[in-house]
Structure 1
Amino acid sequence: REFYELRWFHPATDARATEITLLGHRVPFGTDVLVRATHLPGFVLHTDICEDLWTPVPPSAIAALSGATVLGNLSASNVTIGKWEYRQELVRSAAAKNLAVQLYSAAGFGESTADLAWDGHGLIAERGELLATTERFSLQGTAVTADVDLRALLEDRLRQGSWGQNAATHGRTLRVVTLGDPEDGRDPALFRRFCRRVEPFPFVPADPTERDLRCRETFLIKATSLARRLLALPADQRRVVIGISGGQDSAEALLVAEHAMDLLGLPRGNVIGVTMPGFGTSRRTYENACALVRALGATFREVDITRIADQVFAAIGHDPRTEDVTFENVQAWTRKFLLFALASRERGIDLGTGDLSELALGWATYGGDHMSHYGINAGVPKTLVSYLIRWAADVIFKDESEVAAVLRKILDTPISPELLRLGAAGEIAQKSEEVIGPYELHDFFLYYFLRFGFGPRRIARMALHAFDGRYGAGEIRRWLLVFLRRFFANQFKRDCVPDAPKVGSGGSLSPRGDWRMPSDASVAAWIAEAETIPE
């Protein structure tokens, strides 16, 4: 009730001119003015005043639909108890719904406190994320600075079909003032580092509270999706067969399957956990697989694949002492054949365990572990899987100490497909990250490649900043080239993936959903750009 703008201002609709004289210059005047900076691609500024931001249809919303990417609000907004939280959510919401950068600056110390108080609240938000905020109640006055990603918000606007429809309906032709020199004269040192945090794990929130919420939502998306798939089957066919390797992906799939059974009120024994030891299976993973299946109350099955694989090698004339791609693929195909056969016999479905990272890199055998009746992990990146397992152990299965004990052992096990023979001491000889590179880097590349369509140089620069010395430019360049080559070369596998629930906004490679790409697309342009990254 303290706002009394009409005491001092007329509405913009009452303006009698579109220009005024200010400091001896004729300048545009009105709420329909956009400022474009020629030296900053994508930068188009619109500013409104105070209570405009609180209205159902603020001028900034029309401006955003008309091309503005940076929205400013200058506010003589006083402070009352709890108002800062509402104001912060308002700014975040404006940035989210307008797919824009929202700047906000409230009046601070120095204003009259005869009847009101002031906190000098300043905020910068981008696409719903709060990037920076000032110190409130400062007696000296404060400012806040952050780098904003205009390319990301423009990509979001291009991808969101409803945005374009809304812009066509409500956007207007506003006056545009062009400022600046095409040659950016600022100190190049400003651009050596980002003035914002770039998270090294974009799929995994850094804040523990947010991370727990992300894990909860992800786990329940998968469990309820599987429950729905099971309900679509006849009552006597609601069984799940899962190949359990003793690694993280199959452990996570088994946890989800058992929780889906719990949700449906079905016996946990309807989940059949199958361990299939092969030439590279270690004692450690074998024991973990057996222990987890039994601890969860699933039905346990064991089938040694070595004899069947040897028969295949003999049939095709392959020397099993040659540990090449045929040696590996025959094992994967044997396991999948057995899982499909067992699912048929048990009148159930085979639940795939491969994750989003493996799907992106093609780190799966075509028609082997790449295939299933339902791919429960296909929307989950490798960097999130371990957190999901920890969360499930602490929350869903918190009263099952045996389960938690086995899961801790699984989390300490190196990631491996175990398709090559063990070392002399019985240790795992084939470690995925030694072959294809760190999953934390690949998931970073994948997020910005898939979510925003960024090019190699931009992704590499962001990775260099995000990992802050953990990886040098040469390492990032090396593994980015691996990522690009593998991603393009393995599109044929993604063209025929089984059904799977989409989990994250940047996390689906299904050809029926987010990712429609020809399997013979050329990677040449991406490689050419990546090779210009300095080593």
Structure 2
Amino acid sequence: MKIGIAQINAVVGDFPGNAKRLLQAYRECLEKGAELVVSPEMGLVGYPPRDLVFKSQFVPKCLQALDYLATEIGEVPFLVGYVDHHESDQPGKPFRNAAAWLERGEVRAKRWKTLLPTYDVFDERRYFEPAAACEPVEWRGRKIGVTICEDIWTDDYLDRPFYRRDPVRELKEAGAEMIVNLSASPFHLGKPEQREEMLASVARKAALPLVYCNAIAAQDQLVFDGHSVVVGPSGEVVAKLPGFEEACEVVDLRQDAAETVPRSRVRMPQPPCEQLWRALVLGLRDYVQKTGFETVCLGLSGGIDSALTAAVAAEALGADKVHGLTMPSPYSSGGSVADSFALAENLGIRCDEVRISDIFEEVKRTMAPLFVGEAEDVTEENMQARIRGLLLMSLSNKFNHLLLTTGNKSELAVGYCTIYGDMCGGLAVISDLPKTRVYDLCRWLNREREVIPWNTIEKPPSAELRPDQKDQDSLPEYDVLDEILEAYVERHLSTDEIVDLGYEEDLVRWVQRRVDLNEWKRQQAAPGIRVTSKAFGMGRRMPIVQRFTG
């Protein structure tokens, strides 16, 4: 059987646009000889729709689009993901995460998602009722086992056993001859490799071929990376679609054909820096375009974080869509301004200079009667950041730019950022990228030519808010800080457990306390693009008011 895989980029709630994308992909697969075409989870809806499903006309409009789509489908079936009503008289959630088998102008069969994840970034039990039974779709004498995303995630690849049911086993026992999976599996670093290993294990255990179609898109903070895979019954990878881009491919699942698959169809995994780069580029591009913006602006400090953010923006949108603003204060070095303009020249983006020294002095004079007898401290440092935030927001308002924030995960974790200052903006592009990863990615970008000025990479990092300031005046060395943060934020280790790894107790407790105390600040931050297994924001739900220190 020749299976067409339609790895498309859907927009949440754009039923006409998504239907058009699905039809284009379906027809492209037909031209390549497909006998059955598979699309991603909720390909007609976009994932995740979240509380949009509660809007009175959301699901009816989805079903209307599904009926239209069915009328355009001929003898070659098309599996499409969508949201349906739960029409049972039994108690339960109001909706279903569903897949429709479209054939010869009608919806011939429907199947429901069985395993509903409610952990990390997922919240599906809030909306959906699971399938009571798993039954294959019978077609031309074959039995096709239809699963949706989580249905194939086995206990071996979850933190702990979450489910009592195994949909793949149920389908195998019901006579399924192959497993098809419609998926919207979000990216984090290392996820494509983990996912492929899991798919091979599932196919091997079931002794069935497995066709896996993953979404490619960015939705708010999540990036869906594609990397759709076809796996043979022995666990061998028959074909892989590319990551971070739309693709349509037809794979022949006949045993003799599988044995002669060209090696070009089985792509090598991308190195970590390339994965991160492509995820950030896709995340920024989709966020900007799907929210209706055309251009972005950002502050250029001459530092490495703003440089990387600008490079991502130029790649995602085009250099002519990026407007940089460098805003030196009395404490800014001439090198920082020069580095900002060198970066702009390397990227081909616009960069303007607005000095804030006079504004800063005027704000201090204005506040002086209230600050009599008080020494200058972090208050005056934050004034500079907030003046820059005001100027950048003004630039954003005047020209309808989306303002990008430029802080990294290490700084956001410990609160080394100014709320209503450098945190102003609509999207935090690298807020899930630890500082050490920022350096790695910038060096990777410079592997063939200078993109990020080398001086920006090599000079000690500094906020330049007071004379001769360096980040390490206030923070541990970033390689140590990032290791502690990874243990505390992503692995959820206690203070004592981190100390047992070999770190100084006072330092660990300082980092832990800073993370906990700055939750209020992070909950007011711009949404960020998730690229690690535990980002601040979606998937991490910590209270602001709490006293647990373990």
TM-score for both structures, normalised by structure 1: 0.53
* Residue 517 (structure 1) aligned with residue 542 (structure 2): yes
Residue equivalent to 2:398? 345
1:443 aligns with 2:482: yes
Which residue number corresponds to residue 329 of structure 2? 278
User: In structure 2, what residue type is equivalent to 1:229?
Assistant: Y
Deviations 1:95-133 (A, max 9, x none): x96655xxxxxxxxxxxxxxxxxxxxxxxxxx6xxxxxx
Task: Figure out how many residues of one structure are paired with residues of the other and give that number.
Answer: 303
Residue 393 (structure 1) aligned to one of 412, 424, 446 = 446
Q: Which amino acid aligns with 1:299?
A: R
Q: Is the 8 A contact 1:320 1:327 kept in 2?
A: no
Q: 1:518 to 1:447 in 2, by over 3 A?
A: same
Matched, 1:412 2:412: no
After superposition, the Cα gap between the structure-2 partners of 1:497 and 1:391, relative to the gap in structure 1 and judged at 3 Å, is same
Q: 1:287-335, CA deviations, whole angstroms, 9 ceiling, x for partnerless residues?
A: 1111111221111111101111111111221589944011101001000
Deviation of 1:204 after TM superposition, in Å, equals 10
**CA deviation string 1:351-387 (max 9, x = no partner):** 1101111111010011111231110011111110011
Q: 1:217 aligns with which of 275, 278, 290?
A: 275
Aligned residue in 2 for 1:239 = 295
Among candidates 316, 326, 329, match of residue 367 of structure 2: 316
Cα 1:204/1:325, change in 2 over 3 Å: farther
Taking the aligned partners of 1:211 and 1:492, their CA distance within structure 2 comes to: 38
Q: In the alignment, which of 309, 313, 319 is matched to residue 257 of structure 1?
A: 313
> 2:376 & 2:343 partners in 1: Cα distance?
30
- Pairing of 1:40-439 with structure 2 (within 5 A): 156-157=159-160, 163-166=161-164, 213-234=271-292, 237-262=293-318, 268-317=319-368, 318=371, 322-394=375-447, 398=448, 401=449, 403-404=450-451, 407-421=453-467, 429-439=468-478
The SS at the match of 2:162 is: helix
CA distance change for structure 1 residues 166 and 286 in 2, over 3 Å: closer, same or farther? farther
Give the SS at the match of 1:272.
strand
Give, in angstroms, the shift of residue 168 of structure 1.
Answer: 9.2
Check conservation: 1:323, 1:420, Cα contact below 8 A. no
Q: 1:325 to 1:319 in 2, by over 3 A?
A: farther
Distance, in Å, in 1 between the alignment partners of 2:324 and 2:363 is 24
Query: Could you tell me how far apart the structure 2 residues matched to 1:294 and 1:169 are?
Result: 55
Cα deviation, 1:473-499, whole Å, max 9, x if unaligned, reads 5xx222212101211111101112212
Partner AA of 2:499 in structure 1: A
**Matched residue SS, 1:326:** helix
Query: Tell me, what secondary structure is at the counterpart of 1:349?
Result: strand
Distance 1:371 1:99, change over 3 A: farther
Tell me whether 1:461 sits opposite 2:500 in the alignment. yes
SS in 2 for 1:250: helix
Tell me the TM-score normalized by structure 2: 0.51
Q: Is the 8 A contact 2:304 2:438 kept in 1?
A: yes
Inter-CA distance 271–522: structure 2 relative to 1 (3 Å threshold): same
Q: 1:505 to 1:305 in 2, by over 3 A?
A: same
User: Residue 6 of structure 2 aligns with which residue?
Assistant: none
TM-fit CA distance, 1:436: 1.8
Inter-partner Cα distance in structure 2 for 1:502 and 1:286:
30
Cα separation, 1, equivalents of 2:345 and 2:168: 60
CA contact 1:313–1:320 (8 Å) conserved in 2: no
Q: Pick closer, same or farther for the CA change 1:212–1:252 going to 2, 3 Å.
A: farther
Moved more, 321-330 or 361-370: 321-330
Q: Would you say the 8 A contact 2:189–2:531 is kept in 1?
A: no
Amino acid at match of 2:536: L
1:117-153 CA distance string (max 9 Å, x none): xxxxxxxxxx6xxxxxxxxxxxxxxxxxxxxxxxxx8
CA separation in 1, counterparts of 2:291 and 2:419?
Answer: 27
For structure 1, the residue ranges without an aligned partner over 5 or more in a row are: 1-95, 101-126, 128-152, 158-162, 172-201, 263-267, 422-428, 465-472, 527-535
What amino acid is the match of 2:328?
Answer: P
Q: Are the equivalent residues in 2 in contact too, given 1:246–1:289 (CA < 8 A)?
A: yes
Higher share of residues assigned strand:
2
Q: Does 1:496 align with 2:496?
A: no
% identical aligned pairs: 27
Maintained 8 Å contact 2:488/2:512 = no
Distance 2:529 2:163 in 1: 27
Residues 176-196 of structure 1, C-alpha deviation per residue, up to 9 Å, x if partnerless?
Answer: xxxxxxxxxxxxxxxxxxxxx
Q: In structure 2, the residue corresponding to 1:251 is in which secondary structure?
A: helix
Q: CA RMSD in A?
A: 2.9
CA contact (8 A) 1:204 1:383 kept: no
Give 1:496's aligned amino acid: Q
Task: State the 1:343 CA deviation.
Answer: 1.0
Judged with a 3 Å threshold, the aligned counterparts in structure 2 of structure 1 residues 320 and 355 are, in CA distance, closer, same or farther, namely farther
Give the gaps of 5 or more residues in structure 2.
1-151, 170-187, 192-267
**Residue aligned with 1:311, SS:** helix
SS at match of 1:410: helix
- Alignment correspondent of 1:485: 513
Deviation of the 1:232 alpha carbon: 2.2
Q: 1:314 to 1:249 in 2, by over 3 A?
A: same
Give, in whole Å, the separation in 2 of the partners of 1:212 and 1:321. 55
User: Cα deviations across residues 59-87 of structure 1 (Å, max 9, x unaligned)?
Assistant: xxxxxxxxxxxxxxxxxxxxxxxxxxxxx
Cα separation, 1, equivalents of 2:373 and 2:471: 21
Cα separation, partners in 2 of 1:481 and 1:223, compared to 1, 3 Å: same
Q: Retained in 2: the 8 A contact 1:436–1:482? A: no
**CA shift in 2, pair 1:166/1:215, >3 Å:** farther
CA distance in 2, matches of 1:302, 1:319: 33
Cα distance in structure 2, aligned partners of 1:260 and 1:278: 30
Alpha-carbon offset, residue 258 of structure 1: 0.5
Secondary structure of the equivalent of 1:301?
Answer: strand
Residues 188-236 of structure 1 deviation map (CA, whole Å, 9 limit, x = unaligned):
xxxxxxxxxxxxxx9899xxxx9971111111111111111221244xx
